[in-house]
Structure 1
Amino acid sequence: MNFTIENIVLLFSILLLVGVISAKFSTRLGLPSLVLFIAAGMVLNQFVFFDNAWLAQLLATVALVIILFEGGLQTKWESVKPVYKPSLSLATIGVIVTTLTVGIAAKFVLDLTWAEGILVGAIVGSTDAAAVFSVLGNKNVKRKLATVLEAESASNDPMAIFLTISLIQVIQSPSFDPLTLVLSFFWQMGLGLFFGILFGIASVWIINKINLDSSGLYPVLSIALSIFAFSVVTIMNASGFLAVYVMAIVIGNADLTYRHSILGFNEGLAWMMQMVMFMILGLLVFPSELLDVAWQGIILAVFLMIVARPVGVFVSLLFSKMNVREKLFISWAGLKGAVPIILGTYPLVEGLEHGQLMFNVVFFVVLLSTVIQGASISKAAELFGVTRTGKKTESPHSLELISIGKTNSEMVEVRILEESAAANKRIHEVDLPPKTLITAVIRGDQLITPEGSTKLFPEDVLYVLVKKEQKMN
């Protein structure tokens, strides 16, 4: 293809269109959307030659910052708090154990040195929340397990990134002091956590106080702050990714001006970055090269799914109250996604002797494990008995009133449950807090204008205008 400005713009639009269509059909096909994005990239590389690993890594890093930031914004601290211990254990001990277990297999299967083998293990050591939940379909996993998986997937990336970068340093400098590695870990994670909280608090203050002329600038400001935080913390040789995620959690759980605009914008931008990122990574892969490492990839993928991941889960949850069935499901739900493929470009960029081999094998392993586990995760939930009865409590509806962005009121969404005190009552019979107004009732696909005589039924979705201080109580 002739890379004129017009052709590049056309290619970018095609990437986005293919990405949106892929996302729409991914759930119906029982596959994570990332698989279809990557497949689209692999098809496009038959027409577009692209082998710039450095540029791919740069774009992927920016994309990952935005994806982690969006994930943190959506993380509700009250949901994560009860399960932070098992999630943190999975995100640290689990990643380390999985890394070492896969590393042993990779050393012999790929005929690598010990450091190179463990490097492969570190690259595939983390899981991906988007991949897990994009294939659950209509299956309702127990809330506790879903939260554990989500928190683990969002928080284990910094550990995998730290291990990957550290092992590359060990390979490049065999005299690298192990004590330096340990001190580096505490430095990176400690400063990442500290500055994440600091930047989060500062960002909330800035967003609420800056008083911009246009509401559309607030989401842009939030993205700018996240990228700035990542850059500053990374320059200090600390974990910028951890800082961004922690910062986003602080922002997402704070009383925020134009919250709906910021959340909606970041969700859409994160989707766009996932599409572009995975397709560009797909452009780096040539099917013929994947076939060359097919048998090694199959062995490592199977080993990762049925040995390494379960070992990591059971060791890290040794003192957890979870039963065997729940641990087995968590093991099977450890789908791979963005980070392993991005980390697979690191050996390429650093010019390691077996960098191309590592990238191809990692790509093959991630793709294979995601396809197999992604297509069977709903069945696994039923097999291990970890589904919950009833319908999902999450609502696909959203309502945004820009005009109340700076006021002391907020529009909140409430779903009426079977056990709710308001279920099967008329609105005038419901004891509402002072100055609280039900503005809309959504029942199925119908929008009902609420009146005092309107009866509320289970599964109704209400939009309620409340004072912010009442919402926080």
Structure 2
Amino acid sequence: MVELASILVLGVFAQWLAWRIKQPAILPLILIGLLIGPVSTFFTPDGTKLIDGDSIFSGDLLFSFVSLSVGVILFEGGLTLNLKEVKTVATTVRNLLVIGVFITFIGGAIAAHLILDLSLSMAFLFGGLIIVSGPTVVLPILRNVRPNAKTNTILKWEGILIDPLGALIAVLVYEFIKSSSHGEYYTVEALKDFFVTISIGFFVGGMGAIIIWYLIGKNKIPEYLRNIFTLGTVILVFSTADILQKEAGLLAATIMGIVLANMKLEDFKKILSFKEDISLILVTLLFILLSSRINIEQIEQLGTRSLLLFAVVIFVLRPLGVFLSSIGSNLKWQEKLFISWIGPRGIVAAAVASLFSLDLMKSETTSASLRAEAELLLPLVFLVIVGTVVIQGTSAKWVGKLLNVLRKEPQGVLFVGANEIAKKLALFLKKEGFYVLLADTAKHNVEEARKLDLHVYEGNILSEEIFEELDLSQIGKLVAVTSNSGINSLALSWFDNELGMQNTYRLVSKEEAENENLPLPKNVLFKSRLDYLSLNQMLRENSEISEVRFNADSEYEEFIEEKGKSIIPLFIIKPGKKLHIISGYPEEVEKEDRLIFLKKKNYDMQSTES
């Protein structure tokens, strides 16, 4: 009881730590597991581990827990694979998913066979496992480094799409190993078992997706039960496939997620939301639990040859895959090198490797030699994961600066809300050449904004998925203009770490608007006490947005002193399309800068250049 509670507490701490240091959560999770597991044996009086996964879940219970957890994780990964997106992403991304995956798979297998003397079957399993990167490890690095738009897009989409693809390849290789374990490899019987396993996995997984699609699409399940019903169906599909054919459950769960992701389901995003709760808890428990099971003897088995294999993976296979995949693209060699450097392995690789290692070691049909290699598989994959996350994650910003691929300060604006205020301001900025994106949950607002040819995201701006679903590489500022002051404030705090506090702005609240004794925070839009209703009314009455250009530095102060009470300053646009949003932060106005403003009813046009 104490050990299980400790893992939960440490897992929450690891997730928080990852958020603070802007690194993938898998790194602190595994490191904490190693510290309380094998490393702790050096400090305890009797040489035992502080926490050992085997003492929490004994016998088949551990295998069942890990197996079901991996099934849920693979289902969640499958949910991210939209086949339409694969067709529309850049050629380089598609090539990375084909050429890059092939080179990693085959090259990793050959290297493992030659360097570590692994059998071909286990070597190919290792090659399949190290394919998987995943958004949970790539996106935190990208948010911290902020590379230019091209490299950011390629790495983001590769990380999202390669997750289920890599898992599927690893599962298929594993199924073939299990099918062949009863006798000589490549026998007719082995191929028959393999075909049956694949068929059952595809059929049961597809049927599970159809059941979810029908019941939720026809409103047969109440909204508050949909997440838990989906989770229950995943477990049912996994178990059914496994009963029909041993080891078919993992494939069924993955296929169910992929099929469901490509069906037209109105409430699909609500199904996706369950991964924030269940998958996060499972991942947190799983990696501390599994890394605590590793023994010092297994780590010692790795040796220098394992480090050589690791070097081949990151210094040879990854660059080779990237450069071959980007032939004919418009990527500069510096961008290709940077993409080559960012290839961290992720959660799916660790989870699937743990499950395969456990199953192969406990299976009675596994030969002694294969069992010994299976015991080495887990620490070997963990070495690749920790090594890539630590080395690439910590050095990515330095490498980006060295190669000059970090993006210049983006000038795009994300509007929280797609209401009249947001549409009016966004249309003006778009006409000026700035990238604008509106986000709203109200379907009517979204449809009206799209009719105006504005980029709109329909969804909750405060959800965890926002950083996965939106390409924020062009966004440098956030403007919260909803009628709900609470949502506006939350949006600012949600994006403070992403954009910086000085680049997030909001309307005043009703209390701030009505009480002039309350000092205005610096991030209040337009240095104004105009709340949502007042500003909306002013925009309706004054449809024209005006501007004035300054020929000398002092003209701005003179203009504000003369006209300040009859205008609402909105933006300052500098030469080179640099945008400054008027707020409590100081303005530095120079020659050729333009002030964009709204005129109040009593505005005097005399002596004003616009």
CA contact (8 A) 1:120 1:358 kept: yes
Distance 1:438 1:189, change over 3 A: farther
The alignment status of 1:43 with 2:35, answered yes or no, reads yes
| SS of alignment partner, residue 372 of structure 2 | coil
Change (3 A) 1:113 1:30: same
Residue aligning to 2:169: 159
Q: Residue 176 and residue 186 in structure 1: after superposition, are their counterparts in 2 closer, same or farther (change >3 A)?
A: closer
Aligned length: 428
Work out whether 1:269 is the aligned partner of 2:351.
no
Aligned residue in 2 for 1:102: 108
Structure 2 vs 1, CA of residues 77 and 439 (structure 1 numbering), >3 Å: closer, same or farther?
Answer: farther
Q: Aligned Cα RMSD in Å?
A: 4.5
Further displaced range: 231-240 or 268-277: 231-240
In structure 2, the partner of 1:450 is 532
- Asked if 1:33 is matched to 2:25, the reply is yes
2:360 to 327, 330, 350: 350
CA contact (8 A) 1:305 1:332 kept: yes
1:128 to 134, 148, 153: 134
Q: 1:174 is matched with which residue: 184, 188, 191?
A: 184
The structural deviation recorded for 1:21 is 2.0
Residues of 1 paired with 2:353 and 2:198: CA distance? 22
The answer as to whether partners of 1:87 and 1:149 remain within 8 angstroms in 2 is no
| Counterpart among 108, 111, 115 of residue 117 in structure 2 | 111
The answer to whether the 8 Å contact 1:129/1:154 transfers is no
Asked if structure 2 preserves the Cα contact closer than 8 Å seen for 1:300 and 1:365, the reply is no
Tell me which structure has the larger Cα radius of gyration.
Answer: 2
Change in CA separation of 1:191 and 1:420 when aligned onto 2, cut-off 3 Å: farther
- Residues 261-287 of structure 1 show CA distances to partners (whole Å, capped at 9, x for unaligned) of 544333122111110111111121124
Q: Residues of 1 paired with 2:153 and 2:160: CA distance?
A: 10
Q: Deviations over 1:17-37 (max 9, x none)?
A: 222221222244353211211
**Counterpart in the other structure of 2:318:** 309
* SS at 1:134 equivalent: helix
* Structure 1 match to 2:288: 279
Superposed counterparts of 1:422-437, under 5 Å: none
Judged with a 3 Å threshold, the aligned counterparts in structure 2 of structure 1 residues 223 and 289 are, in CA distance, closer, same or farther, namely same
Looking at structure 1, the residues matched to 64 and 416 of structure 2 have their Cα atoms a distance apart, in angstroms, of: 35
Does the 8 A contact of 1:119 with 1:168 survive in 2?
no
Distance 1:416 1:26, change over 3 A: farther
Structure 1 position 290 matched with structure 2 position 299? yes
Equivalent in the alignment of 2:232: 224
1:100 corresponds to which letter in structure 2? I
Matched-pair contact (CA < 8 Å) for 1:42–1:287 = no
5 Å-filtered alignment, 1:58-207, equals: 58-73=64-79, 79-83=85-89, 87=93, 89-91=95-97, 93-138=99-144, 139-140=146-147, 142-167=152-177, 169-170=179-180, 173-177=183-187, 199-207=208-216
Q: What amino acid is the match of 2:279? A: A
Would you say 1:376 and 2:395 are equivalent positions?
A: yes
Query: 2:131 and 2:96 mapped to 1: Cα distance?
Result: 11
Deviations 1:297-316 (A, max 9, x none): 3222111111123334445x
Post-superposition offset of 1:250: 3.1
How big is the shift at 1:80? 4.5
Q: Distance in 2 between matches of 1:459 and 1:196?
A: 52
Q: 8 Å contact 2:180–2:190 — kept in the other structure?
A: no
Judged with a 3 Å threshold, the aligned counterparts in structure 2 of structure 1 residues 151 and 416 are, in CA distance, closer, same or farther, namely farther
Summarize the Cα distance change of 1:88–1:416 in structure 2 as closer, same or farther, 3 Å threshold.
Answer: same
TM-score normalised to structure 2 length: 0.58
Conserved in 2, the CA contact under 8 Å of 1:106 and 1:300? yes
Partners of 2:258 and 2:315 in 1: CA distance: 32
Change (3 A) 1:187 1:88: farther
Cα distance between partner residues in 2 of 1:50 and 1:392: 49
Separation in structure 1 between the aligned mates of residue 119 and residue 231 of structure 2, nearest angstrom: 41
Equivalent-residue separation in structure 2 for 1:83 and 1:201 (angstroms)? 27
- Deviations along 1:423-447, whole A, 9 cap, x unmatched? 79xxx9x97689x996547373546
Cα drift, residue 173 of structure 1: 3.2
Evaluate the alpha carbon distance shift between residue 124 and residue 229 of structure 1 in structure 2; reply closer, same or farther with a 3 A threshold.
same
C-alpha distance in 1 between matches for 2:73 and 2:79: 10
Q: Deviations over 1:392-449 (max 9, x none)?
A: 9898989xxxxxxxxxxxxxx999595279979xxx9x97689x99654737354656
% identical aligned pairs = 21
Work out which of the residue numbers 362, 367, 378 in structure 2 matches 1:359: 378
More relative contact order, 1 or 2 (CA 8 Å, 6+ apart):
1
Q: Distance in 1 between matches of 2:82 and 2:126?
A: 33
Gap change, CA 1:18 and 1:343, over 3 Å in 2: same
Shift of 1:243: 0.7
Q: Could you report, residue by residue, the CA deviation over 1:62-117 in whole angstroms, capped at 9, with x for unpaired residues?
A: 22333343345456676544128655654455334323322232223323334443
Q: Which moved more, 1:150-159 or 1:261-270?
A: 261-270
Write the letter of the residue equivalent to 2:314.
Answer: M
CA contact (8 A) 1:192 1:233 kept: yes
Distance 1:260-1:34 versus aligned 2 partners, 3 A rule: same
Give the aligned partner of residue 549 of structure 2. none
1:246 is matched with which residue? 258
The answer to which of 234-243 and 337-346 deviates more is 234-243
Cα deviation for residue 325 of structure 1 reads: 4.5
Structure-2 separation of matches of 1:159 and 1:432: 42
Contact 1:102 1:120 in 2 (8 A): yes
In structure 1, C-alpha distance between the alignment counterparts of 2:383 and 2:397, rounded to whole Å: 23
Residues of 1 paired with 2:413 and 2:228: CA distance? 27
Q: Contact 2:77/2:163 (CA < 8 Å) preserved in 1?
A: no
Tell whether 2:317 aligns with 1:340.
no
Q: 1:64 to 1:89 in 2, by over 3 A?
A: farther
How far, CA to CA, are the matches of 1:53 and 1:92 in structure 2?
A: 39
Structure 2 residue identity aligned to 1:249: A
Residue among 11, 18, 34 paired with 2:10: 18
Residues 98 and 125 in structure 1, CA contact (< 8 A), matched pair in contact too? yes
Q: CA deviation at 1:170?
A: 4.7
Distance change >3 Å, CA 223–CA 348, structure 1 → 2: closer
Aligned letter for 1:29? I
The aligned amino acid for 1:273 is L
